[in-house]
Amino acid sequence: MAKNDINVSFYCCIYVIVRKSLKMMIKIEEDEEENQQRPRKKSKKEIKEEERKEYWQNKRKNQREKKKEMSRKKREEREKNEKPEEKKEKDKEEKEKLSDLRKQKRDAWMSKPPSGNFVMDLSFDDLMEPKEIRSLSVQLTYCYGTNKKMEKPVNLILTSFGGKLETALRSNDGFPQWKLPYHSQHFSEVFPKDKLVYLTSDSDNVLKEIELDKYYVIGGIVDKNRHKGITLKKAQELGIATAQLPIGEHIKLDSRKVLTVNQVMEMILHYIQTENWGEAVEKSLPQRKIPVGKKKKKKKKKS
């Protein structure tokens, strides 16, 4: 009987110990979950940085509002002093001056000889989602705007122009004033194949210089890497030359050498202005693609 009592006592002790252990484990897990859900306490440095940012944002906002208010008051005073007829004549003169200035700039830009021929292949309409088509239309707008600002512009040509992309571009108010040629036909039907070079990051050939008698084709597609190698495959099927931009010769990227249409165009335009691929690559690549060691450190302002 005594032996049985000892066994019972032993098992009771074991039960109590196990139960307490389980309770402790459950409590530890609950504490960990509570700590995870509880927001991290910010350090003094972080709080100070947030306060500094908020202070400067508010200050800039107040300065903008003050400037707007001052310009509004000045405009109201001018309008009060001016007679209605004089005001109409002045507005008309300003509009004419602005129109003449724009025309002069456009004529000066159009008179510049092109420093190369670049063809946008827009035959990928069916492979893109509506938001990707809108994104491509924005990229093409950037290409046109950047080209206009350059001292040495290039001849920019749109091919396979039509469908959803045409609709997206024509919704842009400035598109009717674009001074560039565009064709509804495929680029292979417009230009001789022996003069075509398809620019694709999948090519084994590296572009060294821009030849004025060549037509460099840029694939107009935004696909989030769903159709890898599609531009190289297309060029091979058509039997035309291919080349990639010399990015790898100047910067070793952490990711693939796939750029947006406007980044490609910007890099080419910078090269044409400077004739330096290294400088063009650094100016055009987005900061997220440049390895940490290659990023330029911002100089701290002396207080």
Catalytic sites, residue numbers: 223
Residue 273, CA distances (Å) to 153, 220, 263, 269 in order: 9, 23, 15, 6
In sequence order, the 6+-apart residues with CB closer than 8 A to the CB of 169 are: 137, 140, 141, 175
Give the 3-state secondary structure of residue 198. Answer: strand
Strand (E) or helix (H) holding 119: strand 117-121
Would you say the C-alpha torsion 107, 110, 111, 112 has a positive or negative sign? positive
In sequence order, the 6+-apart residues with CB closer than 8 A to the CB of 67 are: none
Give me the residue label for tokens 């100070």.
Answer: 48
Percent helix, percent strand, percent coil in the chain, to nearest 5 = 60, 10, 30
What is the C-alpha separation between 181 and 157, in angstroms, rounded? 5
In sequence order, the 6+-apart residues with CB closer than 8 A to the CB of 153 are: 109, 112, 114, 115, 147, 269
Give the 3-state secondary structure of residue 182. Answer: strand
